[in-house]
Structure 1
Amino acid sequence: MNQLALYSGSFNPVHQGHLAVVDYLSSRDYDEVIILLENRRNLAGLVGFDDRKAMLRLGLGNRQAVLDKYDFQSEARVIDYQVVEDLFEIYGKGLKVDIVLGSDGITNLDQWQGLDYLLEHRVGFVWIKRAGYHHQSKQIQAKLRSIPSLRYQEVAMIDDLTSATQIRQQLANRQAPQGLSQPVLDYITKNQLFANSSRHL
């Protein structure tokens, strides 16, 4: 095991935009693409961890991504340097790790706890540039360049207009949601999820 991609999120719900990122990562030279399901309980409108995990498993289908392999997955924590520490303990210091972030996540990278540890261990970052954030690109680039020793790459997701917020609004309004796989939509319908969804998540 030499190279891992670590992709985290609330996946509330998992949609085609998320899966496009997984497909991209799977096409690269990573030995594993690890999906870390976050459990940020302070966010309004966040459905249960088990429901999001079930939807994520359905959405991933046969994709080569790891969801349940590591003990830290059961803790459902937000991605941080301690997750990377766990991976180094498993695979050794020679492991190469890239953390995958969207524009909203990478904007605050300079405020991350443990960023110095990540930079010291040559952890890289993959910036997924999604629609709706292009106007901030130069500002984000300037901030990233100001962080010494930061290794990152930019990936533009073409024609990715899928939004979890929009999907939740459509479901709450009993409209046909755009960007969900049929198994995920069937699960949402069966379990009556997002009926009173908040627009803020």
Structure 2
Amino acid sequence: MTKKNNIGLYFGTFNPVHIGHLAIANYVVENSDLDQIWMVVTPHNPHKKKNTLLDDYQRLHMVHLATDDYDKIKVSNIEFGLPQPSYTVHTLAHLSEKYPDINFTLIMGEDNLKSLHKWKNYKVLLEDYSIIVYPRVSSGKIPEQFINHPKITSVPAPIIEISSTMIRQGIATGKDLRYFMHYQVQNYVEEMNFYK
């Protein structure tokens, strides 16, 4: 019997993708039994007016620019073809059906774990998938039911407090934030005049 591949799914709008996202993905894939991480670019939610959110394919392109030279991180646009808004439980079911030979694991920040009980069908999610949690500075407590849960593993990844919002605001006010993004992403952002 062939061994199933273990793939971690790291969801985000990645607007823009920055070194915090990349460092977390890099840390998790190198310090777990995952074979790869797929960065799943979340499409624009049509129910929200978000003039700061770049076009889906431009954000996808930036994640490609940042990760194409590293075999352990791949980019996924799976949600682009799914009904909106995207619910993680639906995306995971769709992926599991499409790739029956892969074990999928969800990667999330501690801030998301604190609100996981509000997610659509979160119990189904926990029955069928494992979750790797990385630390985030956030308020509130982790609900009792998720502490020592057999499907939830915490990793001591470095806490990186960089946000895409901070980068967008910085660029809009003329700051040079080249070291907060992969150099190819930074060049692309500049070339395309994004977030100005």
* TM-score with structure 1 setting the length: 0.80
1:84 counterpart SS class: helix
Matched, 1:38 2:42: yes
- Matched ranges for 1:89-168 at <5 A: 89-92=97-100, 95-121=102-128, 123-130=129-136, 132-133=137-138, 136=140, 139-140=141-142, 142=144, 144-145=146-147, 151-158=151-158, 160-168=160-168
Answer whether contact 1:8 1:37 (CA < 8 A) is retained: yes
Correspondence for 2:22 = 19
- Cα drift, residue 2 of structure 1: 3.5
2:74 counterpart SS class: coil
- Relative to structure 1, the CA distance from residue 16 to residue 55 in structure 2 (aligned partners, 3 Å threshold; closer, same or farther) is same
- Cα drift, residue 163 of structure 1: 2.0
Correspondence for 2:74 = 66
1-structure distance, mates of 2:144, 2:103: 25
- Cα drift, residue 109 of structure 1: 0.6
Structure 2 unaligned blocks of 5 or more: none
Runs of 4+ with >4 A deviation: none
1-structure distance, mates of 2:49, 2:18: 19
Correspondence for 1:81 = 89
- Cα drift, residue 153 of structure 1: 1.5
RMSD: 2.5
2-structure distance, mates of 1:21, 1:116: 26
1-structure distance, mates of 2:99, 2:156: 30
Matched, 1:48 2:55: yes
Number of equivalenced pairs? 185
Answer whether contact 2:135 2:155 (CA < 8 A) is retained: yes
1:180 partner letter: M
- Cα drift, residue 5 of structure 1: 0.7
Report the identity percentage: 22
Answer whether contact 2:107 2:133 (CA < 8 A) is retained: yes
* TM-score with structure 2 setting the length: 0.82
Answer whether contact 2:9 2:104 (CA < 8 A) is retained: yes
2:22 counterpart SS class: helix
- Relative to structure 1, the CA distance from residue 186 to residue 7 in structure 2 (aligned partners, 3 Å threshold; closer, same or farther) is same
- Relative to structure 1, the CA distance from residue 150 to residue 194 in structure 2 (aligned partners, 3 Å threshold; closer, same or farther) is farther
- Cα drift, residue 159 of structure 1: 5.2
Answer whether contact 2:68 2:74 (CA < 8 A) is retained: no
2:133 counterpart SS class: strand
Greater shift, 11-20 or 170-179, is seen at: 170-179
2-structure distance, mates of 1:141, 1:100: 18
